[in-house]
Copies of this chain bind each other. A is one copy, B any other.
Amino acid sequence: METDTRTRILDAAESLFVRHGLDATTLRMITAEAQANLAAVNYHFGSKEALIEAVFRRRLTWLNEQRIAALTAFEAEAKGAPLKPRQIVEAFFGVAIRMAADRNGGQTFMRLLGRTYTEPTDFIRTFLAEEYAEVIARFKAAFFKALPDVPQEEFLWRFHFMMGALSYAISGADALRMLGPIDDTDPDALYARLMSFLIGGLRAPLPEVLAKPARKPRAKRAA
């Protein structure tokens, strides 16, 4: 066998989680694809939950380190001056898009990660919150410094929307095909498209609802 059992299980689990979801993927499917014995999962990882965490940790830790490294590089270059929003977006989302383009497993993993942000399962939420704590703190600080005129709450929402766009850009390939025939094989084009969209949304004029009017501020008769 080329690689050891532990790695083969991680690869098979990652791939199957993307295709069928976490719950619908059984240990029997995983061990079959990994050409390992059923008991191997519990031997090497302890439980299915622990396996899931291991699958995420293997790449997510690295991804967030890359993000922080990219941000740190920009900050060193700026010598204390605020960064340009485009640079911060690049450090956070660009790194992710690039990892999603990596044929060596990164692609599979990012599709999994994208649809896991909104996963309701408790232990996953807790796990993700821990893994993201540092990177979120760093990027929040950088953005607040770069956009001092944007209210912080306003920015957090926009960051949230940007995460949604990223998530769909990466893992919504199937949902995308619902819209019509489309080419999603060119990672450079995807990178350019998403960055352009994100910057556009981030720099959009602020909505004028910062103070709440009477009842319905803009009750358009649309529906």
Task: State the A residues within 8 Å of B (CB).
Answer: 18-21, 23-24, 66, 69-70, 73-74, 90-91, 94-95, 98, 114-115, 117-121, 125, 128-129, 132, 136, 140, 153-154, 156-169, 171-172, 174-176, 178-180, 182-183, 186, 188-209, 212, 216-218, 220-223
How many protomers of this protein does the assembly include? 2
**Pick the contact of A154 from B118, B186, B193, B221 — CB < 8 Å?**
B193
Q: Across the interface, which residues of B come within 8 angstroms of A140, CB to CB?
A: 179-180
In the bound complex, CA of A70 to CA of B136 (Å): 39
User: Do B120 and A174 touch (CB < 8 A)?
Assistant: yes
Q: Tell which of B20, B95, B118, B160 touches A223, judged by Cβ atoms closer than 8 Å.
A: B95
| Given A174-B125, A179-B140, A207-B222 contact (CB < 8 Å) | no
Chain B residues lying within 8 Å of A208, measured Cβ to Cβ, are 192
Out of B74, B153, B197, B209, name the residue touching A204 (CB < 8 Å): B197
A61 to B45, CA, bound (A): 44
Whether the Cβ atoms of A70 and B121 lie closer than 8 Å is: no
Assembled-state Cα–Cα distance A218/B74 (Å): 16
What are 10 A-B pairs at a CB distance below 8 A? Answer: A21-B120, A70-B223, A115-B118, A117-B168, A129-B178, A158-B197, A160-B176, A161-B193, A188-B212, A189-B209
Complex Cα distance, B62 from A130, in Å, reads 39
* Distance (whole angstroms) from the CB of A195 to the closest CB of chain B: 7
Bound together, the chains give a CA A183 to CA B69 distance in angstroms of: 31
